[in-house]
Structure 1
Amino acid sequence: HEVAAYHYLAKNKGSRKLSIIIVGGGVPKNYSLQPEPYLSQICGIDAGGYDMDVQICDAHIQNGALSSCTASEAHTWGKTSAECVKKSQYVFADVTATFPFIVHALLQEEIKRQPRNLLDYREEALTLLDKALRKKRFTDYKK
């Protein structure tokens, strides 16, 4: 519920855009993509999927690897938006070979920005989602 609350907060406040960088596959990849199906299919709240994703994984669909789900496949499950499919990149590479370069690039002084602590938004995120859930239940009850 808490991870979905952060997702919902990002989609309903500020720029209303949400991106994700997925490093590797398997359970962590699946878990990071679960907030949208939870919100839409379990809670009945349309929050919209990720607007952009970058995936770095060496799993290829040809060998039956389940970790090879692309943004277009994730869109069929409601995990990413249609716009995300156009803006996403899937990098077929070993994470241990590529991730150090990404970290190095992100730590360059020219692009550094003030870090934000996600936990600072915890109460706001949970309150916003709980409010939306109460509103949804009330609306459904009135029908």
Structure 2
Amino acid sequence: MQPTEPIEVSEKSVADLLLAMSKTGFQGRKLGEAFKVWLEMLEEDEITILMGLAGAMVPAGMRKIIAYLIRNRYIDVLISTGANLFHDIHEALGFRHYLGSENVDDFYLYNEGIDRIYDVFAYESEFNKVDCILADIISELDGVVSSRKFIGELAARVYRLASEKESIIVAAYESGVPVFCPAIADSSIGIAAAIADRRVVIDTIKDVEELTDIVVKSKKTGVIYVSGGVPKNFIQQTEVVARLKGVEKGGHDYAIQFTTDMPQWGGLSGCTFEEGISWGKISQKSKKVQVHVDATIALPVIVHGLQNVKRRSCPVFIWDRELKIDYGCLSHEVSACQGL
């Protein structure tokens, strides 16, 4: 057995602090271990890192952190709730979320046209303006497309309108990082589509095929789950789909999750990676860490620890009739690899 090592109070980087925390106990240790697993992923020559993003992360101020992860290719694929993408577009277009309070008369807020997300406020009228802008954009689109293709089309148009370029979908669009949103109707993007003069159809079964294709054609895969929900399951099930198609991947090779949920309630957001092994979704040999922590605490700390870490290489996705993945691109050369 190794002894724990008390953390000395001294001048140190966030990375050094996280490494020191990995030698302590409880969730501080788990946070440090998650950091070490993420570093291991970035050292791999041929790996695709997928992030599942749930919870109200964008209203809570995590938007630029996710954009930073994308631009620096600390993640390669994003699977998000529709709400996070809508709130990202909301801020890209110059609107804001505001510091509020959970101790408030909500009927008063309703009469004032203010929506509350725990201790964050936003104006309903501004949400409605964004709904209408998105409805106009969606009315320009046509065809049957995956959510990845649909979000790419939104990003191209939001980029032209954006006053704030540090957007999640704009960063993904510029960096060649695919963004999937399998439950896109369950958001204000779905509301905008419902009021649009709509000719475009979002085929979410095509999402299943495309994301599974990414996993099948990746040499190795690592997953990072912020909360859980639909994005977590959507990534997890790719291993099952691949197996039913005759490809045995053996489960994801690395896995990290930041969650406040617990396994005993039976929900996916709290289920353990050990449980995922029974489904073949997580490799028995995987490096895996689950941290029971509010992601708005974990993400700023870990991502600051990742600053200045240079990834060895990252995948470039070539979307043609058949998906091709090229791992020959260094992370700092990704824009050139994408031809941007």
Q: Distance in 2 between matches of 1:99 and 1:79?
A: 24
2:213 corresponds in structure 1 to 5
- Moved >2 Å (runs of 4+): 62-66, 112-118, 120-128
Do the aligned partners of 2:226 and 2:257 also contact (CA within 8 Å) in 1? yes
Letter in 1 for 2:230: V
Would you say 1:61 and 2:263 are equivalent positions? yes
1:28 corresponds in structure 2 to 231
Do the aligned partners of 1:57 and 1:91 also contact (CA within 8 Å) in 2? yes
2:285 corresponds in structure 1 to 83
* C-alpha spacing 1:57/1:80, structure 2 compared with 1 (3 Å): same
Would you say 1:103 and 2:303 are equivalent positions? yes
1:74 corresponds in structure 2 to 276
Q: Distance in 1 between matches of 2:322 and 2:218?
A: 9
Greater length-normalized contact order (CA 8 Å, ≥ 6 residues apart): 1
CA-based RMSD of the aligned residues comes to: 2.4
Do the aligned partners of 1:8 and 1:125 also contact (CA within 8 Å) in 2? no
Deviations 1:112-131 (A, max 9, x none): 3377464x343496369xxx
Residue identity over aligned pairs, in percent, reads 36
1:112 corresponds in structure 2 to 310
Give the structure-2-normalised TM-score. Answer: 0.32
The equivalent position to 1:94 in structure 2, one of 294, 302, 313, is 294
Deviations 1:2-37 (A, max 9, x none): 1111111113xxxxx321111111111111212110
SS in structure 1 opposite 2:249? coil
Letter in 2 for 1:7: V
Q: Distance in 2 between matches of 1:89 and 1:45?
A: 26
Structure 1 position 65, deviation (Å)? 3.6
* C-alpha spacing 1:5/1:66, structure 2 compared with 1 (3 Å): closer
Q: Distance in 2 between matches of 1:34 and 1:102?
A: 27
* C-alpha spacing 1:20/1:125, structure 2 compared with 1 (3 Å): farther
SS in structure 1 opposite 2:257? strand
Q: Distance in 2 between matches of 1:73 and 1:40?
A: 18
* C-alpha spacing 1:125/1:93, structure 2 compared with 1 (3 Å): farther
* C-alpha spacing 1:98/1:124, structure 2 compared with 1 (3 Å): farther
Would you say 1:126 and 2:339 are equivalent positions? no
Q: Distance in 1 between matches of 2:292 and 2:322?
A: 34
2:331 corresponds in structure 1 to none
Do the aligned partners of 1:5 and 1:125 also contact (CA within 8 Å) in 2? no
- Larger helix fraction of residues: 1
The equivalent position to 2:250 in structure 1, one of 45, 48, 54, is 48
Q: Which runs of 5+ in 2 are unaligned?
A: 1-208, 326-340
* C-alpha spacing 1:75/1:99, structure 2 compared with 1 (3 Å): same
Deviations 1:81-109 (A, max 9, x none): 1112xx21110111111111122222x22
Letter in 2 for 1:2: E
- Larger strand fraction of residues: 2
Do the aligned partners of 2:318 and 2:324 also contact (CA within 8 Å) in 1? no
Do the aligned partners of 2:215 and 2:238 also contact (CA within 8 Å) in 1? yes
* C-alpha spacing 1:57/1:124, structure 2 compared with 1 (3 Å): farther
Aligned residues, how many?
117
Do the aligned partners of 2:233 and 2:268 also contact (CA within 8 Å) in 1? no
Q: Distance in 1 between matches of 2:320 and 2:251?
A: 22
Letter in 2 for 1:26: G
* C-alpha spacing 1:124/1:53, structure 2 compared with 1 (3 Å): farther
Structure 1 position 46, deviation (Å)? 1.1
